[in-house]
Amino acid sequence: MGTGFSTKAVHAGEGKGKPYDAVTMPIVQTSTYAFANTQEILDFVAKKESGESNLRGEYGRYGNPTQTAVEEKVAALEGGERALLFSSGMGAITTVLLAFLNRGDHLVIASSTYRQTRNFVNDHLSRFGIEVTFLKDGEVHKLESSLRPNTKLIFCEVPTNPYLRVIDLAQVSAIARQHGVLTAIDSTFATPVNVRPIEHGIDLVIHSATKYLGGHNDLLAGIVVGSRELLSRLESLRGILGCVGSPHDAYGLLRGMKTLELRVAKQNKTGQKIATFLEAHPRVRVVHYPGLPSHPDYAIATKQMTGFGSVISFEVDGDIHQTSQVIDNLQIPFIGPTLGGVEAIAQQQAVFISRDPVKRASYGISDSLIRYAAGIEDADDLITDLDQALNTITPSGEETE
């Protein structure tokens, strides 16, 4: 197999000589695996106890050949020793937090992480006696002073959702290693096409594979990549919790990742083009996109990333109702809470969070914010559609004719 990214995307984890001489990896649809006799069981147990990897199947909760192919492919793309497939991105995140944090431990986490991750930290980790410090965007200079003797894990996203802040991964890694602290990065928005955190010294890389890796809005999955040692601890807990990915979703991931670089390369170009257009639009107050010089982390992003993705967050020059009007007048994108697929999807996050303005404000999400995730449609068509939708409202302070 070659060393290029797309060659790995197509061939890693699969190779030749598949069952029935199939070109694509089959869906191995089984919940359990039979043994020929007692001696075969004893041999299997002996190999497992010795730590041997890539064992034959035992039970569906512990692994599946289609799943294994996905894990090997993602590990190759991220440059990690091993990967583990989960039933969802949140399944991957929560298992990481539970596997590496114990009662009395301390977690440092970015306050801008996905709100369900924050909800898990606030509502559930606190019940287990785990201490938490939240750092705001742009506060990497406070990271080292936030560490304590009992700090065990630093967790953040790159870029963040929805304001697309970009943290300096090498700086985070250096601080963490100096103090013997593990690092975990949710790299869903970046994908291994745009940044590979392990190359910057990060220990664990997490993806909601539902998004770009799958790429077609038709599956749920999560991935964690890291060293064999760390993932062996994670694998044990995954088997107990049961949040393993299904063989059908694993097959969908194998198919989707073969075009990952092609899709993301186009989405990078489209995202940059849309962000530039929106920044000049009179009905847009501000654009959050790391590929724009106006973004606070532009310097870090250009140093660390090879592309800036398809997600553009922008704030309409209007109130919550005018922003909803823009969403409702878009003709091409679907309205929904996801991203990374071949179809464009837009959402007004405030509406999804709560009808209560106080609760919305507590999450730091502006009522006028739109998160726009471009698909692989023609960029000019998406821009024309955005323009007509924005032009259906009047800027704040102007009268409608």
pLDDT at 396: 52
Region(s) of the chain under CATH 3.90.1150.10: 260-390
Closest CA to 89 of 213, 256, 235, 200: 213
317 classed as catalytic: no
114 classed as catalytic: yes
In this predicted structure, the answer to whether residue 400 has a pLDDT above a threshold of 60 is: no
- Whole-model pTM: value is 0.94
Whole-angstrom Cα distance, residue 365 to residue 91?
Answer: 24
Region(s) of the chain under CATH 3.40.640.10: 5-28+64-257
Closest CA to 288 of 314, 323, 316, 269: 314
The active-site residue out of 82, 105, 114, 266 is: 114
Mind listing the pLDDT tens digit for each residue in 183-206?
999 999 999 999 999 999 999 999
Handedness of CA 280, 276, 366, 290 (dihedral sign): negative
Fold of 260-390: Aspartate Aminotransferase, domain 1 (3.90.1150)
- Top pLDDT among 140 and 354 is at 140
The active-site residue out of 61, 118, 148, 273 is: 61
In this predicted structure, the answer to whether residue 48 has a pLDDT above a threshold of 90 is: no
pLDDT at 2: 81
Whole-angstrom Cα distance, residue 261 to residue 192?
Answer: 9
Mind listing the pLDDT tens digit for each residue in 225-243?
999 999 999 999 999 999 9
In this predicted structure, the answer to whether residue 395 has a pLDDT above a threshold of 70 is: no
The active-site residue out of 165, 211, 238, 283 is: 211
Strands 106-110 and 131-135: parallel
Strands 106-110 and 311-316: unpaired
Q: Which residue has the tokens 């963490």?
A: 176
The active-site residue out of 105, 137, 186, 203 is: 186
pLDDT at 139: 87
Mapped onto helix, strand or coil, the DSSP state of residue 127 is helix
61 classed as catalytic: yes
Beta bridge partners of 184: 155, 204
Residue type, 338: T
Counting every residue, how long is the chain?
401
The CATH number of the domain covering residues in 5-28+64-257 = 3.40.640.10
Whole-angstrom Cα distance, residue 2 to residue 5?
Answer: 9
Mean pLDDT of 93-116: 95
pLDDT at 168: 96
Mind listing the pLDDT tens digit for each residue in 333-358?
999 999 999 999 999 989 988 888 88
pLDDT at 401: 41
Whole-angstrom Cα distance, residue 398 to residue 251?
Answer: 53
Mind listing the pLDDT tens digit for each residue in 257-275?
999 999 999 999 999 999 9
Mean pLDDT of 60-75: 94
